[in-house]
Structure 1
Amino acid sequence: MARLFSQAARCAAILSIMVLSGGGTAVAAAPADGQAPILAEKVAAGTLPPLADRLPGTPRVMQVPGADRAVYGGELRTLVRSAKDVKLAFVYGYARLVGYGPDYQLAPDILEKVDVQEDRVFTLHLREGHRWSDGHPFTAEDFRYWWDDVANNAELSPSGPPRDMLVDGKPPLFEVLDDRTVRYSWEKPNPVFLPRLAGAAPLLIYRPAHYLKQFHARYAEAAALQRMTGEAQAANWAVLHDREDNLYNSDNPDLPSLQPWTVQTRKPAERFVIERNPYFHRVDQRGRQLPYIDRLILLVVNPGLLAAKAARGEADLAARGLTFQDTPLLREHAAEFSYQVRLWRQATGGHIVLYPNLNTSDPVWGPLLRDVRVRRALSLGIDRDAVNEFLFFGLGRPGNNTVMEESPLFEPHYRHEWAVHDLEKANALLDEAGLTVRDAQGWRLGPDGKPLEIVAETAGEQPEQVDALELIQSDWAKLGIEMAIRPSHRDTLRGRALSGESVLSVWPGLTNGLVTADMPPLEMAPNSQIDFQWPVWGLHAETAGASGTPPDLPEARELSELYAAWKEAKSAGERDEIWTRMLQIHADQVFTIGVVAGVPQPVLVSDRLHNVPEEAVYSFDPGAFFGVYNPPGFWLDPK
Structure 2
Amino acid sequence: MISRLLYGLVALVLCALPAMAGYVEPDSLKDKVAKGELPPVDQRLPSEPLKVTIEGEGKSVGQYGGTARILIGGQRNISLMTVYGYTRLVRYDDKLQLQPDLLKSFDVQDGRVFTFHLRPGLKWSDGEPVTTEDFRYALEDVQLNEELSKVISPYLLVDGKPPKFEIVDDNTLRYSWDAPNPDFLPQIAAPQALSLVMPAKYLKQFHKKYQSEDKLAELIKANGEKKWTGLHINKARQYRPENPDLPTLDPWRNITKPPSEQFVFERNPYFHRVDQEGRQLPYIDRFVLNVSSSSLIAAKTGAGETDLQAQNISFADYTFLKESEATHPIRVKLWESGRGSRVALFPNLNFADPVWSKVLRDVRFRRAASLAINRDEINQAKFFGLSRPSADTVLPASPLYREEYATAYTAYDPDKANALLDEMGLDKRGSDGVRLLPDGRRAEIIIETAGEDSVETDVLQLITDHWSKVGLKLVIRTSQTDVLRSRVIGGTTMMTVASGLDNGVPTADMNPKALAPTSHEQMQWPQWGIFVESAGEKGTQADVKEAQELFDLYKQWEKAADSAARAEIWHKMLALYTDQAFSIGIVNGAKQPIVISAKLRNVPETALFSFDPTAYFGVYGMDTFWFDKKGP
Q: TM-score, normalised by structure 1?
A: 0.92
For the residue of structure 1 that corresponds to 2:448, the secondary structure is strand
Residues 559 and 39 from structure 1, CA distance in 2 versus in 1: closer, same or farther, beyond 3 angstroms? same
Query: Counterparts in 2 of 1:126-137, with a 5 A limit?
Result: 126-137=118-129
Moved more, 111-120 or 406-415: 406-415
Q: Distance in 1 between matches of 2:61 and 2:412?
A: 53
Q: Distance in 2 between matches of 1:535 and 1:27?
A: 56
For the residue of structure 2 that corresponds to 1:404, the secondary structure is coil
Indicate the structure (1 or 2) with the bigger Cα radius of gyration: 2
Match of 1:344 among 327, 330, 335: 335
For the residue of structure 1 that corresponds to 2:87, the secondary structure is coil
Q: Is the 8 A contact 2:25 2:40 kept in 1?
A: no
Query: Counterparts in 2 of 1:138-157, with a 5 A limit?
Result: 138-157=130-149
**Residue 247 of structure 2 aligns to which amino acid in structure 1?**
P
Residues 28 and 239 from structure 1, CA distance in 2 versus in 1: closer, same or farther, beyond 3 angstroms? closer
Query: Counterparts in 2 of 1:79-98, with a 5 A limit?
Result: 79-98=71-90
Query: Counterparts in 2 of 1:133-532, with a 5 A limit?
Result: 133-159=125-151, 161-532=152-523
Ranges in structure 1 where 5+ consecutive residues have no aligned partner: 1-23
Q: Distance in 2 between matches of 1:122 and 1:57?
A: 23
For the residue of structure 1 that corresponds to 2:429, the secondary structure is coil
Give the Å deviation of 1:442.
2.6
Aligned to 2:102: 110
Residues 412 and 216 from structure 1, CA distance in 2 versus in 1: closer, same or farther, beyond 3 angstroms? same
Q: Is the 8 A contact 2:390 2:585 kept in 1?
A: yes
Q: Is the 8 A contact 1:150 1:157 kept in 2?
A: yes
Q: Is the 8 A contact 1:74 1:293 kept in 2?
A: yes
**Residue 42 of structure 2 aligns to which amino acid in structure 1?**
A
For the residue of structure 2 that corresponds to 1:588, the secondary structure is helix
Match of 2:54 among 50, 64, 84: 64
RMSD between aligned residues: 2.1
Aligned to 1:37: 27
Residues 493 and 45 from structure 1, CA distance in 2 versus in 1: closer, same or farther, beyond 3 angstroms? farther
Give the Å deviation of 1:69.
5.3
**Residue 76 of structure 2 aligns to which amino acid in structure 1?**
K
Give the Å deviation of 1:424.
2.1
For the residue of structure 2 that corresponds to 1:130, the secondary structure is coil
Give the Å deviation of 1:291.
0.5
**Residue 38 of structure 1 aligns to which amino acid in structure 2?**
S
Give the Å deviation of 1:176.
2.0
Q: How many residues align?
A: 614
Q: Distance in 1 between matches of 2:25 and 2:503?
A: 36
Residues 41 and 472 from structure 1, CA distance in 2 versus in 1: closer, same or farther, beyond 3 angstroms? same
Aligned: 1:590 with 2:581: yes
Over residues 150-183 of structure 1, what are the superposed CA-to-partner deviations in whole Å (9 max), with x where a residue is unaligned?
1211111222x21011122222111122332221
Ranges in structure 2 where 5+ consecutive residues have no aligned partner: 1-14
For the residue of structure 1 that corresponds to 2:586, the secondary structure is strand
Give the Å deviation of 1:67.
8.7
Q: Is the 8 A contact 2:59 2:602 kept in 1?
A: no
Give the Å deviation of 1:219.
1.6
Match of 1:581 among 563, 572, 583: 572
For the residue of structure 2 that corresponds to 1:378, the secondary structure is helix
Over residues 515-542 of structure 1, what are the superposed CA-to-partner deviations in whole Å (9 max), with x where a residue is unaligned?
2323332222222222222222223333
Residues 380 and 554 from structure 1, CA distance in 2 versus in 1: closer, same or farther, beyond 3 angstroms? same
Q: Is the 8 A contact 1:141 1:179 kept in 2?
A: no
**Residue 205 of structure 2 aligns to which amino acid in structure 1?**
Q
Give the Å deviation of 1:293.
0.5
For the residue of structure 2 that corresponds to 1:262, the secondary structure is strand
Moved more, 53-62 or 429-438: 429-438
* Percent sequence identity over aligned pairs: 48
Give the Å deviation of 1:382.
1.1
**Residue 144 of structure 1 aligns to which amino acid in structure 2?**
R
Aligned to 1:14: none
Q: Distance in 2 between matches of 1:180 and 1:37?
A: 31
Give the Å deviation of 1:624.
0.5
Moved more, 535-544 or 62-71: 62-71
Moved more, 532-541 or 181-190: 532-541
Give the Å deviation of 1:379.
1.1
Residues 241 and 386 from structure 1, CA distance in 2 versus in 1: closer, same or farther, beyond 3 angstroms? same
Q: Distance in 2 between matches of 1:590 and 1:76?
A: 44
Q: Is the 8 A contact 2:59 2:601 kept in 1?
A: no
Give the Å deviation of 1:58.
1.0
Q: Distance in 1 between matches of 2:245 and 2:525?
A: 40
Residues 545 and 480 from structure 1, CA distance in 2 versus in 1: closer, same or farther, beyond 3 angstroms? same
**Residue 606 of structure 1 aligns to which amino acid in structure 2?**
S
Moved more, 444-453 or 244-253: 444-453
Q: Distance in 2 between matches of 1:255 and 1:485?
A: 47
Q: Is the 8 A contact 2:341 2:585 kept in 1?
A: yes
Moved more, 532-541 or 109-118: 532-541
Q: Is the 8 A contact 2:111 2:562 kept in 1?
A: no
Q: Distance in 2 between matches of 1:25 and 1:50?
A: 18
Aligned: 1:566 with 2:557: yes
Residues 477 and 267 from structure 1, CA distance in 2 versus in 1: closer, same or farther, beyond 3 angstroms? farther
**Residue 65 of structure 2 aligns to which amino acid in structure 1?**
G
Match of 1:620 among 611, 617, 628: 611
**Residue 83 of structure 1 aligns to which amino acid in structure 2?**
Q
Aligned to 2:6: none
Aligned to 2:8: none
**Residue 45 of structure 1 aligns to which amino acid in structure 2?**
K
Give the Å deviation of 1:564.
1.5
Aligned to 1:8: none
Moved more, 486-495 or 77-86: 486-495
Aligned to 1:18: none
Q: Distance in 2 between matches of 1:333 and 1:508?
A: 28
Give the Å deviation of 1:354.
1.1
Give the Å deviation of 1:68.
7.3
Residues 473 and 327 from structure 1, CA distance in 2 versus in 1: closer, same or farther, beyond 3 angstroms? same
**Residue 48 of structure 1 aligns to which amino acid in structure 2?**
L
**Residue 334 of structure 1 aligns to which amino acid in structure 2?**
E
Q: Distance in 2 between matches of 1:430 and 1:637?
A: 61
Over residues 47-103 of structure 1, what are the superposed CA-to-partner deviations in whole Å (9 max), with x where a residue is unaligned?
222222211111111112499752111111122222221100000000011001111
Q: Is the 8 A contact 1:31 1:286 kept in 2?
A: no
Give the Å deviation of 1:414.
0.9
**Residue 151 of structure 1 aligns to which amino acid in structure 2?**
Q
Residues 185 and 395 from structure 1, CA distance in 2 versus in 1: closer, same or farther, beyond 3 angstroms? same
Q: Distance in 2 between matches of 1:299 and 1:452?
A: 48
Q: Distance in 2 between matches of 1:507 and 1:426?
A: 23
Aligned to 2:41: 51
**Residue 52 of structure 1 aligns to which amino acid in structure 2?**
D
Give the Å deviation of 1:326.
1.3
Q: Distance in 2 between matches of 1:29 and 1:511?
A: 43
Q: Is the 8 A contact 1:458 1:507 kept in 2?
A: yes
Q: TM-score, normalised by structure 2?
A: 0.92
Q: Distance in 1 between matches of 2:598 and 2:244?
A: 31
Q: Distance in 2 between matches of 1:496 and 1:89?
A: 33
